[in-house]
Amino acid sequence: MPNQRSSRCYMQNHKDDKVSFKVEIPIGENNLTGRECPKPECLGYFKVQFGTGLKGENLPCHCPYCGHIGPHTTFLTPEQVEYAKSVALNQFTEVLLADLKKMEFESRPLGGFGLSVSMKVSGGTHPIYYYREKQLETEVVCEHCTLRYAVYGVFAFCPDCGLHNSLQIFNKSMELIVKMLDMSTSAEDVISSRLIENALGDCVSAFDGFGREVCHIRAGSTASPDKIKRLSFQNLEGARRNILDMFNYDVSTGLTTEEWFIAAKCFQKRHLLSHKMGVVDGDYISKTGDANAIIGRKITVTSEEVRTLVQILYKLAHNISIESGK
Ligand SMILES: [Zn+2]
Ligand SMILES: [Zn+2]
């Protein structure tokens, strides 16, 4: 992302008597400056910190939402365009008024019936249109090119290098889950088991959100893009079948049978906690063959198995990731 200084306006006189103005857009709060995707069906608003990210001249900008690529000058927001116009007009009227002022005159009447003629210039310069950048929801520092940017929602393409942040966001969620599990060791029993259960729920939610987003991005490479909207990663076996069906690759590649079994069992435990108040039913037993579970009793989830699940999910996410090149 190129460097950008604070607001300035440069006036240039050309040989053909034309005048042009170069206006620098002001840097917003927290050093983040607004951008807007020029694609009419997107018009997504986001912010970037100039000076971070890739170094170089005339680098293109990537829309974090739709992936459209174009020169930075095409990503100005309507407010920035209004501002630039008003600054140019302000400068122009200032110069014009100064020139006209120089032409002011007043002639005194000559004789009893003489006329007095005068010219006085009044009026001010064109007002400057000021604006504020909008507040956004998620701030990201791209782990590939170090660009600092902000978007609505969570997932986005990096405006500088174009890398999608889905894997970065997923990894951050996993780090938070491990911290939550660390906290559970020093908490009293009831709090501890709730923290572990919540950590398991967060694992499934993060994986589901990540998987859906990656498939959404890759919708163009499947013959049945409508199916993508209904795709869920909360049921591991179902997700595996669907991915195989739609994208022709197995998400469990590289996992041992044991690892796949542990992950599938953890996902089924999460299902019981979310939909059955954690009470074991026949469906759970038939799907997992869990010898330690008894129908009608509460399911137990240990910190160790959620930690193991986190490690397995890292592998699965890598398999699903768009960076895997599959
Ligand atoms: Zn866009
Ligand atoms: Zn980047």
- pLDDT range class, residue 5, cuts 50, 70, 90: very low
Kindly state whether residues 196 and 290 are assigned to the same domain: yes
52: β partners = none
- Give the ligand at the shortest distance from the Cα of 65: 1
Kindly state whether residues 176 and 285 are assigned to the same domain: yes
Kindly state whether residues 303 and 218 are assigned to the same domain: yes
Kindly state whether residues 313 and 280 are assigned to the same domain: yes
Ligand 2 center to 158 CA (angstroms): 5
Mean pLDDT of 130-141: 94
Kindly state whether residues 147 and 218 are assigned to the same domain: no
Give me the number of domains the chain comprises.
2
Ligand 2 center to 164 CA (angstroms): 8
Ligand 2 center to 285 CA (angstroms): 45
> Which residue range forms the structural domain that includes residue 194?
166-324
Mean pLDDT of 100-106: 81
Q: Choose among 214, 206, 271: nearest CA to 237.
A: 271
Ligand 1 center to 116 CA (angstroms): 64
Ligand 1 center to 62 CA (angstroms): 8
Ligand 1 center to 297 CA (angstroms): 50
Ligand 1 center to 3 CA (angstroms): 23
254 contacts: CB under 8 Å, gap ≥ 6: 315, 319
Kindly state whether residues 144 and 188 are assigned to the same domain: no
pTM of the model: 0.78
Kindly state whether residues 194 and 299 are assigned to the same domain: yes
What percent of the chain lies above the pLDDT cut of 90? 63
The answer to whether residue 224 scores a pLDDT higher than 70 is yes
Ligand 2 center to 63 CA (angstroms): 12
Ligand 1 center to 152 CA (angstroms): 12
Kindly state whether residues 197 and 138 are assigned to the same domain: no
Ligand 1 center to 248 CA (angstroms): 29
The reported pLDDT for the residue numbered 119 is: 79
Angle subtended at Cα 206 by Cα 204 and Cα 207, rounded to the nearest 5 degrees: 65
Between residues 230 and 200, the one the model is more confident about: 200
Residue 68 lies in a domain: yes
- pLDDT range class, residue 2, cuts 50, 70, 90: low
21 sits in which H/E element: strand 19-23
Ligand 2 center to 159 CA (angstroms): 7
The reported pLDDT for the residue numbered 111 is: 67
The answer to whether residue 325 scores a pLDDT higher than 60 is no
Kindly state whether residues 228 and 311 are assigned to the same domain: yes
Integer Cα distance of 306 and 135 in angstroms = 36
Integer Cα distance of 268 and 250 in angstroms = 20
Residue 73 lies in a domain: yes
Ligand 2 center to 177 CA (angstroms): 25
Kindly state whether residues 138 and 170 are assigned to the same domain: no
Kindly state whether residues 69 and 194 are assigned to the same domain: no
Integer Cα distance of 139 and 152 in angstroms = 9
Residue 142 lies in a domain: yes
Kindly state whether residues 222 and 262 are assigned to the same domain: yes
